[in-house]
A and B are shown apart, each in its own frame.
Chain A
Amino acid sequence: MYKLLFILIMFTIALPGWSRGTYQEPADFLLEIFQQKVPKAKVIWLSGEVRDKATEILTHKPRSLRVRYWANNEKSIWVLDEIGKTEPITVGFVISDNKITRVKVLIFRESRGSEIRHNFFTRQFNNAKLTQQNKLDRHIDGITGATLSVRALTRLSRLALYLNQQRLKK
Chain B
Amino acid sequence: MTRHKRHTIKLKSMYQWHRYIGITIAFFVIILSITGILLNHTTEFKLSTRHIKNEALLKHYGIRAPDNVRSHVSNNIWVSQWGSRLYLDKKDLGEINSQLIGIMYYKEMIVIGLSDNLLLYTADGELIEKLSSEGGIPPVVTAIGITDNHLLAVNSTQGTYVADIDLTSWHKEPQAKTIWNSPENLPKPLHDILLIEYRGKGLNMERVLLDIHSGRLLGTGGVYFMDVVALLLIFLACSGLWIWTMRLIKQSRHKT
Contact = CB atoms under 8 A, between A and B. Distances in A.
A12 to B, nearest CB: 27
B122 interface: yes
Contacts of A63: 127
Given A41-B169, A43-B168, A65-B122, A30 B134 contact: yes
Contacts of B132: 26
Contact of A41 (B126, B128, B133, B168): B168
Contact of A43 (B126, B130, B134, B166): B166
A41 B135 contact: yes
B129 A64 contact: yes
B136 interface: yes
Nearest to A68: B135
Nearest to B136: A41
Contacts of B130: 64
Contacts of A26: 132-134
Contacts of B136: 41
B239 to A, nearest CB: 45
A40 B168 CA distance: 7
A67 B134 CA distance: 12
Nearest to A67: B129
Nearest to A43: B168
Interface in A1-53: 25-27, 29-30, 40-43
Interface in A45-92: 63-68, 79
A64 B129 CA distance: 5
A68 B135 CA distance: 8
Interface string B87-98: 000000000000
Nearest to A70: B134
Contacts of A65: 122, 126-129
B43 to A, nearest CB: 15
Q: How many residues of A sit at the interface, in one of the four size bands?
A: 10 to 19
Centre residue among A42, A66, A79 by max chain B CB count within 10 A: A66
Interface in B142-174: 166, 168-169
B131 to A, nearest CB: 8
B170 to A, nearest CB: 10
Residue of B129, B134, B135, B169 with most partner-chain A CB within 10 A: B134
Contacts of A66: 128-129
A65 B128 CA distance: 4
A40 B129 contact: no
B183 to A, nearest CB: 27
Nearest to B127: A64
A65 B168 CA distance: 14
B149 to A, nearest CB: 19
A25 B126 CA distance: 26
B66 to A, nearest CB: 24
Contacts of B128: 64-66
Interface string B111-127: 00000000000100011
Contacts of A41: 135-136, 168-169
A68 B168 CA distance: 8
6 contacts: A29-B134, A40-B168, A63-B127, A65-B127, A65-B129, A67-B129
Interface of B: 122, 126-130, 132-136, 166, 168-169
Given A25-B133, A27-B134, A68-B135, 17 more contacts: A25-B134, A26-B132, A26-B133, A27-B133, A29-B134, A41-B168, A43-B166, A64-B127, A64-B129, A64-B130, A65-B122, A65-B129, A66-B128, A67-B129, A68-B129, A68-B134, A68-B168
